[in-house]
Chain A
Amino acid sequence: MAVAPSKILDAVKGDRDARWAFLIALGIAAIVALLNYASFLTASDGLLLDAGNRASEPTAPKVVVVDPGTQDPAGNFELLERLAETARNLGAVRIGLYSANAPGALPESPSVPLTFGLAELGRVPSADDRIDYAAARIAAADHGISRRQTPSFASANGAIPSFETALAGRLAAKDYFVRMPREQNIPVVSLAQVLANDFHADDFEGMVMIVAPGRDLTEAHLSTPLSKDGARTPASLFSAYAVQSLLDRSEIYAATPWTAFAAILALTLAVAAAMTAFEPKRALAPVLFLGVLSALLAAYLALSFANLLLPITAMIVAIIMAAVGLLLFSEVRQDRRLAAILERAIAMAFGNSPYDAQTEPGRHLTEAAERIGLHHSLVLSVPHSGPASVLGAFRADQDDMPSERTLRLIAADRKDSATSIERPTDWNGEVHSALLSSDDPALVWLYSAPAEGKAPHPAEHAHNIAAAIRQTHEWRNDLSTGARRARRKRPIDAQLASAASLITARSDRIAAGLDGLETAAMIFHLGGFPVHANAQMEALARQAGLTPHGTNLLKTLTALSDFSADHLSELLSAIIRDGVEIRIPAKDFGGLQRILRVAPMLKGTHDIIILEAVDITEQNRLAQQRSAVGNFVDKQLRNDLEVIELGAEIGQASAGEGSHVKEIFFNLSETVQRAIGRLEEVADFLNDTGTSAANVCYPLDARKVVDEALEKVAPFAAEFDVSIETALPGISGFTMAEPKSLLATCEAMLRIVIADTPHGGRVKARLTEELDGTVIEVSGGFGIPFERLMAALDSRSEEVPEEYRALASGFKDVARWQGLSSYWSAVGQGLRFNVKMRRIG
Chain B
Amino acid sequence: MTGARILIVDDDELLCEMLASLFRMSGYEVTVAHDGEAGLTKLAAEGADLIVLDLVMPKMDGLRFLRILPERIAQPPRVIVASASATPEMDKKLGQAEIAAVVRKPVKPALLLATVAEALEKPTGG
Which residues of A are interface residues toward B (Cβ below 8 A)? 635, 638-643, 645-647, 649-650, 653-654, 657, 660, 663-664, 667, 670-671, 674, 729-733, 768-771, 839
A769 nearest in chain B by CB position: B58
CB of B25 closer than 8 Å to a CB of A: yes
Asked if B25 contacts A657 (CB within 8 A), the reply is yes
Closest to A729 in B: B61
Pair B21/A663 contact, Cβ less than 8 Å: yes
Chain B residues, Cβ within 8 Å of A674: 14
Whether B106 and A771, one on each chain, are in contact in the complex, defined by CB atoms closer than 8 angstroms, is no
Q: Are A771 and B21 in contact (CB under 8 A)?
A: no
B17 near A667: Cβ-Cβ < 8 Å: yes
Which B residues are CB-close (under 8 A) to A653? 25, 109-110
B77 close to A (CB within 8 Å): no
Q: Is B117 an interface residue (CB 8 A)?
A: no
Contacts of B24 in A (CB 8 A): 660
Which residue of B18, B55, B60, B108 contacts A647 across the interface (Cβ within 8 Å)? B18
Inter-subunit contact B62/A667 (CB<8 Å): no
Shortest CB-to-CB span from B41 to chain A, Å, is 16
Q: How far is the CA of A168 from the CA of B109 in the complex (A)?
A: 153
Asked whether B22 lies within 8 Å of A646 as measured between CB atoms, the reply is yes
Docked CA distance A649–B62 (Å): 26
How many residues does chain B have at the interface if contact means C-beta atoms less than 8 Å apart? 34
A-B contact pairs, 7 of them (CB 8 A): A638-B84, A660-B25, A664-B21, A670-B14, A729-B60, A729-B61, A731-B90
The majority secondary structure among interface residues of chain A is helix
B73 within 8 A of A: no
Count of CB-CB pairs between chains A and B under 8 Å: 92
Is the Cβ of B58 less than 8 Å from the Cβ of A649? no
CA distance A653 to B111 in the complex (A): 13
B25 with A643: CB separation less than 8 A: no
Partner of B56, one of A641, A647, A733, A770: A733
**Chain A residues positioned under 8 Å from B55 (CB to CB):** 730-731
In the complex, chain B residues 80-108 whose Cβ is within 8 Å of any chain A Cβ: 84-85, 90, 93, 105-108
- Docked CA distance A809–B125 (Å): 53
A490 to B105, CA, bound (A): 89
Q: From the candidates A642, A670, A671, name the one contacting B105 in the complex (CB within 8 A).
A: A642
10 nearest A-B residue pairs (beta carbon): A730-B63, A642-B106, A729-B61, A771-B58, A769-B58, A649-B109, A731-B61, A643-B15, A671-B14, A650-B22
Q: Do B62 and A731 touch across chains, with their CB atoms under 8 A apart?
A: yes
Task: Evaluate whether A649 and B25 lie within 8 angstroms (CB atoms) in the complex, with A664-B18, A771-B35 already known.
Answer: no
State whether the Cβ of B72 lies closer than 8 Å to any Cβ in chain A.
no
Of A650, A663, A730, A732, which is in contact with the most chain B CB atoms at under 10 Å from its CB? A730
Nearest CB of chain A from residue B80's CB, rounded to whole Å: 15
Task: Give Cα A645–Cα B22 distance, bound, in whole angstroms.
Answer: 13
Q: Closest approach, in angstroms, between the C-beta of A19 and any C-beta of chain B?
A: 85
- B52 → chain A closest CB, angstroms: 13
Measured in the bound complex, the distance between the Cα atoms of B13 and A674 in whole Å is: 11
List the A residue with the shortest CB-CB distance to B35.
A771
Interface centre among A638, A640, A649 (most CB of B within 10 A): A649
Give the chain A neighbours of B58 by CB distance below 8 A: 733, 769-771, 839
Distance (whole angstroms) from the CB of A279 to the closest CB of chain B: 77
Most buried by B among A639, A640, A768: A639
Within the complex, which residue of B12, B62, B108 is in contact with A730, where a contact is CB–CB below 8 Å?
B62
Residues of A within 8 A of B59 (CB): 768-771
Question: Closest A-chain residue to B105, C-beta based?
Answer: A642
Q: Are B11 and A771 in contact (CB under 8 A)?
A: yes
Chain B residues with Cβ below 8 Å from A641 are: 106
How far apart are A671's CB and chain B's nearest CB, in angstroms?
5
In the docked arrangement, what's the CA distance between A839 and B93, Å? 24
Using known A-B contacts A649-B108, A770-B58, determine if residue A635 contacts B84 with beta carbons closer than 8 Å: yes
Say yes or no: A654-B25 contact (C-beta < 8 A), given A730-B93, A731-B63, A769-B58. Answer: yes
Give the distance in Å from the alpha carbon of A656 to the alpha carbon of B54 in the complex. 30
Instruction: Provide the residues of chain A in CB contact with B106, threshold 8 Å.
Output: 638, 641-642, 645-646
Residues of B within 8 A of A640 (CB): 14
8 additional contacts (CB under 8 A) given A643-B12, A649-B108, A731-B61: A642-B15, A646-B109, A654-B21, A730-B67, A731-B63, A731-B85, A731-B90, A733-B57
Residues of A within 8 A of B56 (CB): 731-733
Q: Which of B11, B56, B59, B63 has the most C-beta atoms of chain A within 10 angstroms of its own C-beta?
A: B56
